[in-house]
A and B are shown apart, each in its own frame.
Chain A
């Protein structure tokens, strides 16, 4: 039996990191939005590590912020320790990572959603999507409630047919003992969405009083804290906790190896494909048997709890084995497990079924986001949720979709990778996935994406004015230092020699001096008398743009040549075999992926440059005969 419960523009199924961003974006863009969650107490939960950011993920958070998403602001509000990773390895790989208070984060996001105009939150399990003539028209809950909607975002995370494995025991469950979503898979399948099984895992949580911290290395936060959000004031941010590092040893490995037969991974009970980047401890020991020790991080779950997270120790071994191997580790001899580690299997879709807007090719108005799309990680999920939510709203408003060009952002790279190359294991963002790393830095996410966020409608006029003022200040200072002559002097040359670079024999521009890797902007203030007072964010951009000018212009040229292919849109093609001259392999791949542009086609493995040429000629021919 069923009953009608209301009509909305957009329904979002799931309220994790993807669902929250999708819902907020859609509601903020003026669409009436309903967000379903199996439990209101799980909104924006962090069922795995209590942290936001990290390499490449930190980039994603800043990009989400620049586009008008919430994650960066939430992380700034809830962080208890902050570190900029990779200082000293170059600005392209600087990445922000914070430890966040898990409960506070959930509360913050729940409150933000509750306060949001146009956004309605419902605790319910969505069990069906209702599709008519290839177009989504509604959803139905397991209680029988029907909602009429114009678009649906599926962001079910690990809930969809979730199954937890701990040793020999397995049971149907969502993460953190939440109920799983049992019925939606069937409905998706019936409507032509191809699903598959992925798996992930999480380590155990242990009690503070059972840890001997004096046996571990301490890891503290940064002295000068950089927030995620471009809107968070930098003053008053402080670290409140430390993290700790310890190591496994041969005894640990022995316990694990002796009990491998009790692992569901090795006995074949888990069919889902696990992530390569996040292997369980038993996986690490088997695959890297020559490594004498593996490191683990001991991280607090929040300020109001004694739970600690053991990063690096994800496992699906039985609870007694978990306890036994943890006790072999220095500082954990008396470990008291509060939540055991587990592996979780779940249904997700093959992202090759999606357009770069994250809409399903076959079902108009149905979008996918987050782990449902085969990715992994809170930040990857939030990024996709934001894009799916924006595009669902834009479609309803009859506006052009927002497609992030690969060279514009890590978000664009993430989505392009998913929808063009697909993924064979849960996809994690890494800096090495972007060929435009030097352009896509975390420090310039505002310049790269805020104008787009403004155009879409999530960034205010006032905010964009501030951005423009910053850009202007950077330009002015660049012009100034490119025109200032610096004469050689004993003082300057002594300084240059002292930092390991050659002295000046003739005068040069200040910018030429700054170009040297050893020289930095602040240290040469003494030789630059008329320097204006500038905020850190402006100085940072000036310095980077001077130092990396050559590389940046090289990458910009690559972007430019790519853009031309990217701008050539391919029409709906029923069968690529109709295009004369394409090779069989290319036809198969093209038919499966149905690229939207020539650029996307060129990145499909199995499509050769000659095939792309053929498409180009075909496209031109078609245009002219029309």
Chain B
């Protein structure tokens, strides 16, 4: 059975999120995306042990995480299981999952961990119906999602790629199955060129995926700063900007209320607690309290400083806490004489924006700073992207098969081998629609080629 991975904590911002990987190669996958501090090897870790280290994607650091290893049969699913606990921001969590999917795991189906647990005899029989309930409900949800997806631009684009790939498969099949008919032969150079073009198209669908998410879902953002630097004013100022839409999304987590603020093309999801609104005790809380948790979860930290006075000890502490996050240092109160020395901010490579929240000056610069920090371009803002990790996974897998086929073609491999790789490439795309390759190819041949006795 394949090794599967999924985020096993609720898909919302939370304190800690867990990415669970289960299957024969779970430790293999984990070892490719997680480096324990101290150089211990993941593959040598015993069951029920943890390691602290760095989760990365091809060496690009994602987050400090804790890896817990369970060895079969002593795990939830009864298989080898690795759980990576990372800071609960959605962005970080998804990146870790994606790294796992890129390094040998496949996306877990509805209720699949539980199903495996059940099949491996790890669950009580009385739980069977509950398990089936979950699978059934999630299966329905997935179908529904797929149906909704069908109308979307991303789907149409993927479908167009799938159609082009299917034409290639049809060419190959007709050419192989009807050698005596006068069917144009398939030339490797031409085939490569077509594959390169399809690959580029698919790549555009996922290249914008992260920015697409940001655009769609908003950037989890937290505003921090010591009291009286103007956080509330900034907040209100952002809320009022360009008749922005402010909605309450209540109950996504137990104790956090989110406010969605639209800033031109950018949506900020300001995580808001009493702490922020009342601008009290934030600094004191740093280190152990709720603010640290919020900073961890956020993808963007807006640190507000008072331009009218020098940096304080609290400010220095704050800067030290946030300098590894995507962060904008907002120097507020440009409407009063400036006494602030920004050297320390520069030393910590923070992006600095000067505003007057009160007079609503510098907001455009502030917006531009956010766009630049997330590398958003106008292309991204209008780009079509796939909707979720699962779809992205399908397209990723398709692309890697196309790459493999291109290498095979370059090496001069026979077309029967190339054909089998391309079958697999198409299979990944067809997962988006639930079709099957062999049936589809046969239909393609008969509809396009005049063959037969």
Compute how far the CA of A371 lies from the CA of B434 in the bound complex, rounded to whole angstroms: 30
Q: Is A491 an interface residue (CB 8 A)?
A: no
Instruction: Scan B148-172; emit 1 where CB is below 8 A from any A CB, else 0.
Output: 0000000000000000000001001
Compute how far the CA of A610 lies from the CA of B143 in the bound complex, rounded to whole angstroms: 10
Q: Which of B95-103, B189-197, B210-218, B408-416 contacts A (4 or more CB under 8 A)?
A: B408-416
Contact B451 A277 (CB under 8 A): yes
Instruction: Scan A274-316; emit 1 where CB is below 8 A from any B CB, else 0.
Output: 0111110000100110010011010000000000000110100
Contact B125 A621 (CB under 8 A): yes
Nearest-Cβ distance from residue B266 to partner chain A, whole angstroms: 37
Nearest B residue to A435, CB-CB: B438
Question: Restricting to A296-338, which residues have a CB under 8 Å from any CB of B?
Answer: 297, 311-312, 314
Compute how far the CA of A90 lies from the CA of B179 in the bound complex, rounded to whole angstroms: 13
Contact B417 A438 (CB under 8 A): yes
Compute how far the CA of A518 lies from the CA of B175 in the bound complex, rounded to whole angstroms: 22
Compute how far the CA of A582 lies from the CA of B140 in the bound complex, rounded to whole angstroms: 10
Nearest A residue to B439, CB-CB: A421
Q: Is A476 an interface residue (CB 8 A)?
A: no
Question: Restricting to B273-308, which residues have a CB under 8 Å from any CB of A?
Answer: none
Contact B178 A55 (CB under 8 A): yes
Across the interface, which residues of A come within 8 angstroms of B2, CB to CB? Answer: 561
Across the interface, which residues of A come within 8 angstroms of B125, CB to CB? Answer: 621, 624-625
Q: Is A617 an interface residue (CB 8 A)?
A: yes
Which residue of the partner chain, among A93, A203, A288, contacts B416 with CB atoms under 8 Å?
Answer: A93
Contact A621 B438 (CB under 8 A): no
Across the interface, which residues of A come within 8 angstroms of B119, CB to CB? Answer: 616-617, 620
Nearest A residue to B412, CB-CB: A517
Q: Is B351 an interface residue (CB 8 A)?
A: no
Which residue of the partner chain, among A432, A518, A620, contacts B173 with CB atoms under 8 Å?
Answer: A432
Question: Restricting to A409-461, which residues have a CB under 8 Å from any CB of B?
Answer: 421, 430-435, 437-438
Q: Is B313 an interface residue (CB 8 A)?
A: no
Whether A551 contacts B176 in the complex (CB less than 8 A), given A277-B451, A277-B452, A605-B436, comes out as no
Which residue of the partner chain, among B131, B142, B453, contacts A617 with CB atoms under 8 Å?
Answer: B131
Across the interface, which residues of A come within 8 angstroms of B181, CB to CB? Answer: 295
Nearest B residue to A603, CB-CB: B436
Contact A85 B179 (CB under 8 A): yes
Across the interface, which residues of B come within 8 angstroms of A437, CB to CB? Answer: 416, 419-420
Compute how far the CA of A311 lies from the CA of B442 in the bound complex, rounded to whole angstroms: 22
Contact A86 B179 (CB under 8 A): yes
Whether A49 contacts B109 in the complex (CB less than 8 A), given A55-B176, A435-B438, A580-B132, comes out as no
Most central of B131, B411, B413, B438 by chain A CB within 10 Å? B438
Across the interface, which residues of B come within 8 angstroms of A517, CB to CB? Answer: 411-414
Contact A288 B450 (CB under 8 A): yes
Nearest B residue to A620, CB-CB: B119
Question: Restricting to B102-127, which residues have a CB under 8 Å from any CB of A?
Answer: 109-112, 115, 118-119, 121, 125
Contact B143 A608 (CB under 8 A): yes
Across the interface, which residues of A come within 8 angstroms of B131, CB to CB? Answer: 617
Nearest-Cβ distance from residue B313 to partner chain A, whole angstroms: 57
Nearest B residue to A551, CB-CB: B417
Question: Restricting to B180-239, which residues have a CB under 8 Å from any CB of A?
Answer: 180-182
Instruction: Scan B414-453; emit 1 where CB is below 8 A from any A CB, else 0.
Output: 1111011101000000000010111101100110001111
Q: Is B400 an interface residue (CB 8 A)?
A: no
Per the CB 8 Å criterion, the residue count for chain B at the interface is: 58
Nearest A residue to B423, CB-CB: A435
Q: Is A618 an interface residue (CB 8 A)?
A: yes
Compute how far the CA of A49 lies from the CA of B186 in the bound complex, rounded to whole angstroms: 28
Across the interface, which residues of B come within 8 angstroms of A89, CB to CB? Answer: 175-176, 179, 414-416
Whether A49 contacts B453 in the complex (CB less than 8 A), given A56-B177, A581-B132, A624-B125, comes out as yes
Q: Is A614 an interface residue (CB 8 A)?
A: yes
Whether A432 contacts B110 in the complex (CB less than 8 A), given A277-B451, A551-B417, A581-B132, comes out as no
Nearest B residue to A618, CB-CB: B132
Across the interface, which residues of A come within 8 angstroms of B412, CB to CB? Answer: 500, 517-518
Contact A610 B110 (CB under 8 A): yes
Q: Is B243 an interface residue (CB 8 A)?
A: no
Across the interface, which residues of B come within 8 angstroms of A434, CB to CB? Answer: 438
Which residue of the partner chain, among A90, A312, A608, A616, contacts B417 with CB atoms under 8 Å?
Answer: A90
Q: Is A555 an interface residue (CB 8 A)?
A: yes
Contact A583 B139 (CB under 8 A): yes
Compute how far the CA of A618 lies from the CA of B131 in the bound complex, rounded to whole angstroms: 10
Instruction: Scan A163-195; emit 1 where CB is below 8 A from any B CB, else 0.
Output: 000000000000000000000000000000000
Across the interface, which residues of A come within 8 angstroms of B450, CB to CB? Answer: 279, 284, 287-288, 291, 294
Tally inter-chain residue pairs, CB-CB below 8 A.
166
Across the interface, which residues of B come within 8 angstroms of A561, CB to CB? Answer: 1-2
Contact A617 B135 (CB under 8 A): yes
Which residue of the partner chain, among A203, A284, A430, contacts B445 with CB atoms under 8 Å?
Answer: A430
Q: Is B128 an interface residue (CB 8 A)?
A: yes
Contact B420 A551 (CB under 8 A): yes
Question: Restricting to A583-626, which residues have a CB under 8 Å from any CB of B?
Answer: 583, 603, 605, 608-611, 613-614, 616-618, 620-621, 624-625
Q: Is B379 an interface residue (CB 8 A)?
A: no
Q: Is B248 an interface residue (CB 8 A)?
A: no
Contact A278 B438 (CB under 8 A): no
Compute how far the CA of A561 lies from the CA of B423 in the bound complex, rounded to whole angstroms: 17
Q: Is A390 an interface residue (CB 8 A)?
A: no
Q: Is A48 an interface residue (CB 8 A)?
A: yes
Q: Is B133 an interface residue (CB 8 A)?
A: yes
Question: Restricting to A43-58, which residues have a CB under 8 Å from any CB of B?
Answer: 48-49, 55-56
Q: Is A213 an interface residue (CB 8 A)?
A: no
Across the interface, which residues of A come within 8 angstroms of B421, CB to CB? Answer: 551
Contact B437 A435 (CB under 8 A): yes
Across the interface, which residues of B come within 8 angstroms of A624, CB to CB? Answer: 121, 125
Nearest-Cβ distance from residue A498 to partner chain B, whole angstroms: 15
Nearest-Cβ distance from residue B74 to partner chain A, whole angstroms: 20
Q: Is B138 an interface residue (CB 8 A)?
A: yes
Nearest-Cβ distance from residue B120 to partner chain A, whole angstroms: 9
Across the interface, which residues of A come within 8 angstroms of B436, CB to CB? Answer: 603, 605
Q: Is B129 an interface residue (CB 8 A)?
A: yes
Compute how far the CA of A311 lies from the CA of B178 in the bound complex, rounded to whole angstroms: 13
Most central of A275, A432, A609 by chain B CB within 10 Å? A432
Compute how far the CA of A312 lies from the CA of B451 in the bound complex, rounded to whole angstroms: 8
Contact B445 A613 (CB under 8 A): no
Compute how far the CA of A350 lies from the CA of B423 in the bound complex, rounded to whole angstroms: 29
Instruction: Scan A252-274; emit 1 where CB is below 8 A from any B CB, else 0.
Output: 00000000000000000000000
Compute how far the CA of A41 lies from the CA of B1 in the bound complex, rounded to whole angstroms: 54
Residue pairs across A and B with Cβ atoms less than 8 A apart, 26 shown, are A55-B176, A89-B179, A89-B416, A90-B419, A203-B453, A275-B452, A277-B446, A278-B453, A291-B450, A295-B180, A295-B181, A430-B173, A430-B442, A431-B173, A432-B445, A435-B423, A437-B416, A518-B412, A581-B135, A603-B436, A605-B439, A613-B115, A617-B118, A621-B125, A624-B121, A625-B125
- 3 closest A-B pairs by CB: A610-B139, A90-B416, A581-B136
